[in-house]
Structure 1
Amino acid sequence: MDNSDLLIAIGNFALYFGISLVFLMLFKFVYTLVTPHDEWNLIKEQQSVAAAIGFGGAIIGFSIALASAASNSVSLIDYTTWGAIALIAQCLAFAVTRYVFMPKIVERIEQNEISAGVILGATSVSIGLLNAACMSY
């Protein structure tokens, strides 16, 4: 690899990494809009372990899918499309958990029930892994 190829590779890395950070910030914003409880207040002000586990799992699950999108994409547009799909999938995972599997998940998170946080976090990571595995051509 000569210097010009290296500079192009570094530029591509910086571009994809920068977009990934924007996606993470966007995910934090959108996910907290989807959930009826205030994760940041629960985590920062009330030191809720359940909320931290649930939200941390969502961030990890999204990051796994986003990493797969970056690895498998053929262009920047392809990457951003799959990143948006990953964001939607994580939000849907919360909705399915809330409305189908654990209708009282919000109240349980707000009451700092660790088991609810673990299930929410595990579900989010699982969805992220499945989402990442399905991002192939």
Structure 2
Amino acid sequence: MPTPVQSPEIQAFAQGFPITLLHGGVTVLILLAAAALYVLLTPHKEISLIREGNTAAAVSMGGVLVGLAIPLAVSLHASTNLIEIGLWGAATVVVQLLVFRLVDIVLRGLPRRIQDGEMSAAAMLVGAKLSTAIIIGAAVSG
């Protein structure tokens, strides 16, 4: 009779857990890099605005993070290796960055409106980010 440490379940966990940490870690790094890229590409400086108490900027940035995380999580689930995670991650990030531009075109002056604390503009951006993230996630999952 095998000891508890030799059980197939423990052995499977011991082999799979490091891979899980690696894949999850890479996905979190993609999320952080995408968020940093988003902050660099947008004309308004979300972090400074959030530190100053701008609620619209905080809501907008929260929507960006969740909007990036949903398709990244689905791509993590659908991928079998780091290359797939990276490819799907990069593709979903590009689409989400384009969504900001599209909403900016529709709302005219989105960065200024968020900078001015306009919650309606932030809510619209969050809605666009989340709806796009759900669709992208479904497309990635096949």
The bucket for the TM-score relative to the shorter chain is: over 0.9
Match for 1:119 among 97, 107, 124?
Answer: 124
Q: Which amino acid aligns with 1:108?
A: R
TM-score by length of 1: 0.93
Match for 1:23 among 26, 30, 44?
Answer: 30
Q: Which residue of 2 aligns with 1:133?
A: 138
Q: Which amino acid aligns with 2:130?
A: V
Match for 2:96 among 90, 94, 108?
Answer: 90
Taking only aligned residues, the RMSD between alpha carbons, in angstroms, comes to 1.2
Q: CA deviation at 1:27?
A: 1.3
Q: Which amino acid aligns with 2:83?
A: I
- Length, aligned pairs only: 135
Q: Deviations over 1:42-78 (max 9, x none)?
A: 001x211111111111110110000000111122211
Q: Structure 2: any 5+ residue segments left out of the alignment?
A: 1-7
Q: Which residue of 1 aligns with 2:42?
A: 35
Task: Kindly indicate whether residue 67 of structure 2 is the aligned counterpart of residue 61 of structure 1.
Answer: yes
Q: CA deviation at 1:9?
A: 1.5
Q: CA deviation at 1:4?
A: 2.6
Q: Structure 1: any 5+ residue segments left out of the alignment?
A: none
How far apart, in 2, do the equivalents of 1:2 and 1:117 lie? 47
Q: CA deviation at 1:97?
A: 0.9
TM-score by length of 2: 0.90
Q: Which amino acid aligns with 1:33?
A: L
Larger Rg: 2
Q: CA deviation at 1:37?
A: 0.4
- Tell me the percent identity: 28
| Secondary structure at 1:135 match in 2 | helix
Q: CA deviation at 1:93?
A: 0.6
